[in-house]
Structure 1
Amino acid sequence: MSTKAVNKKTSFIPKAPALSWWALLLLWAVFAMNAIDREMMFRVMPAIVEEYNIGADTVGTVTALIMFSTGILAAVGMSWSDRGGKGWARKYRHLPIVVAYTLFSILTGVGFLTAGIMGFMILQVLKNAAGGLGEGIEVTSVAEWWPKEARGFALGAHHAGYPWGALIGGLIITAILSVTGDDWRMVFLLIPLLMIPIFTAYWMFARPSRFKKYQEKALEMGLTPTIDEGEANEVNRKGAVIDSLKNPNILVGAICCCLGIAVFTGINFWLAPYLTFVADFTITEAAGWSVIFTITGGIGQIFWGTLSDKIGRKITLLICFAWLAVSFWLFQFVASGLTALILIQLFAGCATNAIFPVLYSLVTDSAKKGYIGTANGIALTGLYTGGLSPFVLGLLIQAGGGWNSSSGYMSGLYFMIACMILAFFLILFFTRETVGAKRGRDFSLVSKESCNIYDNTVQNDKSSISV
């Protein structure tokens, strides 16, 4: 069966080898735990504020430093990961990273290590630095275990592990806080232990014989493996990062990742304190009700990721960024009642997480041969630079009267809306479509060749090898 024939299939769920689905399931669970580790501090933020007795500006600065650290290892670390092996072999450099972010998360729950806010911040910075690199490896591993024709679906389904992991984590956190009397340290001590059996299962699954079988089955189905057998053993040349940054799709993709995480991190920083200090929810209630958007967050990632395989990455991103601008404007009404809180979160959740797998797909589509991990690392570096947004939000909240005044929170919302409008126009003017009927035929101020897009598959393969 030809690739064109596969693309004409009308089924929303794509065909793929069974081993691709197993890899997706296991890597989903790994990424869900990575997400839970990263989101725990947001869910217990009111309790942390009360214990350390700190203002919004201090919390914003601490949170910004923690989130910014998530991207500091990504670009260089992913190049390091590429050199250690691709496909199934990527697990060898994945293991120490998983151990690191799990361990530092657990240590955050040790009382004498976090007796002051500085100890808490240092451990979370170390944890997030490892977790960000882990995300890059996890995303790239999924791309390598799936054929190119279903890349948007695979990355969207995989990234559903973040919102749904956060939802599962939020429920577990609420239960732990209820039993322990708001002891936030027990959350860090207990939940990360779940990673041990999960990653063990993936380690045992990822074997060379299985990866070769996946590649053979994909070819039998008329699909295109993301990496071929020879590429799995290739070592990247020096200069992969600089070379990739010259590609507008990768550079602008990274910038829009930055803007996207600025609002995603921002709303996580914003919501639980707003519900606690302005809307008069208890700490436990705020932890539970602030994760409703994660329900549609996972659905949105799968839907928009899959749709991007059919209608294109660029048009999908334009729709999602416009959707988010409207969504964040609506958040000013979440204190109107429980119904409003639920409906607004569900509406926003349709796109809050969806932009990231589509951006990763855009970047992966545009990468030169052998540079997928490096390109995703650049996207992740850009992504978590946006983690500095709580610093801005903290200043706005403090300037507006502090934790108990709604004025600063509203200023923060309009800051996030502006970020989404900027991302919309960057995608419109400075990227090129990589898949679908409009591939290379869309409106843009940059050339398709600069984005590694050529008129046919043969030319594109040649360009991917060129330096």
Structure 2
Amino acid sequence: MADDKVMNRWLVVLGAILIQLCLGAIYAWSVFTPALNAAGWSKMQTQAVFAVGLAMFAVTMVWAGKKLAVWGPKKLTMLSGVVLGCGYALAGLFGGTNFMSLLLLIGVVGGGGIGIGYVVPIAVGMRWFPDKKGLITGLAVAGFGFGAMGWVKLAGSWGHLIANYGLSTTFTIYGVAFAVLVILGGLFMTFPPEGWLPKGYTPSATVEGSSDDLNIQGTDLLKTYQFKLIFLTFVFSAGAGLMSIGLMKLYPMEALQNAGYSAAEASAISGTAMAVFFSLANGIGRIVWGTLSDLMGRQVSIIIMTATQGICVIAFPTMASSELILYVGATFIGFNFGGNFALFPTMTADIFGAKNVGINYPFVFLAYGVGGIGGPILGGFLGDMGNFPLAFTTCGALCLLGAVLTWHCNPINAKEHELSGFKPIARMLAAEQLSAQRK
């Protein structure tokens, strides 16, 4: 089908960025916590809303992935905008600073709204850009990372919304903005016509017979050793990054003061490391790693990313005691952490087929939730024991293990499917292999 007979596919990128800019609101939660603390909330309560939001995000994504093929990407995105927007708007109108209200409206409802919409731009983008899956996924999820910074600044130092209008009104403004922008972006969320391919693009099959037409989902996905390797690697890589996020200010403050910096200097330096160097590198890393993976391949990219992350995380306790070296360490860890969100969805598509990435990636993304629990808890536990360096060393070593696991994550082949009981797919791949041999 000719490229000029269908919608301009770059409109999908515009829609994806608009959607992800709003869904990244979950990472902007920290801008609200000082006002909530001042209203009498404990630190545990502020983190509980964030944790519930993350959990709902991951769990709802699995449900949304199943509904994507039934309802279509446009309807699912519209629902995401309505649910996310209502969560925040109602929190502003009725929640105020009441803990249970915000836990329900922002944590449960808002987190669910994010989970409903997150996978849609990824799945749609891959279908429109089979020739640039890494780049397009990177651009889409970069919006998620950069959006967080934008909403933080708008509520704080740029827009002063909280200072000028109060917490409740800011929640309401954000709710309306989220609904409008996500619904607007959703107008471009539609799959290309069946059989459509970009001009000049020819799908390539691996020697094992795997291709974009591979169709593995649900329980078949969970049975494969490739899923287990991808899942564990994502757990280790995400866990290291999320532990580093949790300690990026706390541990450098301690290390810098031990090196002779004053408490005020240490706080300012560590805050800059997190808010500027880590955050910007996190967003940029999503685009760069996605682009590199189109050139080098997903498997090689994940191996390099997790191996370098392992080295950086292990070295971070040494780097944290010097201002300039701390900035370098925060940049590299943020850059590699961002790469997770561009590489693992595209790796899922490459191994199990692009058509079902909307169904399959939510199962892989559950690894982010596991890493989000394990990494920060490990950091906090060892920190309470006075041994932050051991936490970084452990997470870094697990990243290196993830690189080794990815090395063994080979494409699906017909023999493997036959042994696993996936006979329809096995026959399909065997026929492809036979056809290729005859040619």
TM-score normalised over the length of structure 1: 0.71
Give the match for residue 232 of structure 2. Answer: 255
Matches within 5 A, 1:16-95: 19-35=8-24, 37-45=25-33, 48=36, 51-52=39-40, 54=42, 63-85=50-72, 90-95=73-78
What is the CA-CA distance between 1:384 and the residue it aligns to? 2.5
Q: CA deviation at 1:348?
A: 2.0
Assess, with a 3 A threshold, how the Cα gap between structure 1 residues 179 and 408 changes in structure 2: closer, same or farther: farther
| Equivalent in the alignment of 1:153 | 135
Query: Residues 242 and 456 from structure 1, CA distance in 2 versus in 1: closer, same or farther, beyond 3 angstroms?
Result: closer
For the 8 Å contact 1:292–1:346, the answer to whether it is kept is yes
SS in 1 for 2:201: coil
- Structure 2: tracts of 5 or more residues without a match: 1-5, 205-214, 258-262
1 CA distance for matches of 2:428 and 2:313? 39
Q: Write the mapping of 1:102-121 to structure 2, written as runs, cut at 5 A.
A: 102-109=85-92, 112-116=95-99, 118-121=100-103
CA RMSD of aligned residues (A): 4.2
Q: 1:199 to 1:369 in 2, by over 3 A?
A: closer
User: Could you say what secondary structure the match of 2:370 adopts?
Assistant: helix
Q: What's the offset of the Cα at 1:419?
A: 4.0
AA aligned to 1:143 is M
| 1:298 alignment partner, SS class | helix
Relative distance call for 1:77 and 1:197 in structure 2 (3 A) is closer
Does residue 244 of structure 1 match 2:221?
A: yes
Q: 1:174 matched to which residue of 2?
A: 156
1:395-418 deviation line (CA, Å, top 9, x unaligned)? 427734xxxxxx465554345324
Q: In structure 2, what is the Cα distance between the partners aligned to 1:299 and 1:274? A: 24
Indicate the residue corresponding to 2:118 in structure 1.
Answer: 135
Tell me the matched-pair count: 405
- The offset of 1:321, in angstroms, is 0.7
Q: Quick one: distance in 1 between partners of 2:294 and 2:427?
A: 18
Distance 2:115 2:121 in 1: 10
Q: Secondary structure at the match of 2:280?
A: helix
Q: Does 1:416 align with 2:395?
A: yes
Q: CA, structure 1 residues 126+248, in 2 after alignment: closer, same or farther (shift >3 Å)?
A: farther
Cα distance in 2, alignment partners of residues 388 and 164 from structure 1: 23
Q: CA deviation at 1:457?
A: 11
State the alpha-carbon separation in 2 of the partners of residues 290 and 243 from structure 1: 41
- Residues 347 and 395 of structure 1, relative CA distance in 2, 3 Å threshold: closer
Report the counterpart of residue 11 of structure 1 in structure 2: none
One-letter identity of the residue aligned with 1:73: T
User: Structure 1 residues 394, 320: closer, same or farther in 2, change over 3 A?
Assistant: closer
Equivalence map 1:363-402=2 (5 Å): 363-368=348-353, 370-389=355-374, 392-393=377-378, 395-396=380-381, 399-400=384-385
Give distance in 2, aligned partners of 1:460 and 1:113: 62
Question: Aligned match of 1:427 in 406, 410, 414?
Answer: 406
**2:311 is aligned with 1:312:** no
Q: What is the CA–CA distance in structure 1 between the aligned matches of 2:316 and 2:354, rounded to whole Å?
A: 42
State the Cα distance separating 1:215 from its structure 2 match.
6.5
Give the partner amino acid of 1:150.
K
Contact 2:286 2:335 in 1 (8 A): yes
User: 2:316, 2:329 within 8 Å by CA — same for their partners in 1?
Assistant: yes
The answer to whether the 8 Å contact 1:250/1:378 transfers is no
Q: How much has 1:97 moved relative to structure 2?
A: 2.0
Relative to structure 1, the CA distance from residue 394 to residue 250 in structure 2 (aligned partners, 3 Å threshold; closer, same or farther) is closer
Deviation at 1:338, TM superposition (A): 4.9
SS in 1 for 2:156: helix
Displacement of 1:124 in angstroms is 1.3
The Cα shift of 1:373 comes to 1.7
2:314 corresponds to which of 325, 329, 348: 329
Matching residue's letter, 1:432: N
What amino acid sits opposite 2:97 in the alignment?
T
Opposite residue 24 of structure 1, the aligned amino acid is: V
1:78 to partner: Cα distance? 0.7
CA deviation map 1:115-140 (0-9, x unaligned): 23x44333313322331232122211
Q: CA contact under 8 A between 2:273 and 2:330: conserved in structure 1?
A: no
- Provide the rounded CA distance (Å) in 2 between the counterparts of 1:432 and 1:274: 38
Change in CA separation of 1:130 and 1:222 when aligned onto 2, cut-off 3 Å: same
Relative to structure 2, which stretch is displaced further, 324-333 or 128-137?
Answer: 324-333
User: What whole-Å deviation, never above 9, does each CA across 1:406-450 have from its counterpart, x for those lacking one?
Assistant: x46555434532442342233233x1158xxxxx8xxxxx95987
Runs of 5+ unmatched residues, structure 1: 1-16, 226-236, 401-406, 435-439, 441-445, 463-467
TM-score, length-scaled by structure 2: 0.75
Aligned pairs (5 A) from 1:185-334: 188-206=171-189, 211-212=192-193, 216=196, 218-224=197-203, 240-272=217-249, 280=264, 286=271, 289-332=274-317
- Aligned residues of 1:334 and 1:344 also touching (Cα < 8 A): yes
Residue pair 2:307, 2:403 contacting (<8 A) in 1 also: yes
Q: Is the 8 A contact 1:275 1:286 kept in 2?
A: no
User: Relative CO higher for 1 or 2, CA cutoff 8 Å, sep ≥ 6?
Assistant: 1
- Shift, 1:293, TM fit: 1.9
| Equivalent-residue separation in structure 1 for 2:151 and 2:430 (angstroms) | 43
Residues 425 and 109 (structure 1), Cα distance of their counterparts in 2 relative to 1, 3 Å cut: farther
Aligned residue number for residue 8 of structure 1: none
2:405 maps to a residue whose letter is L
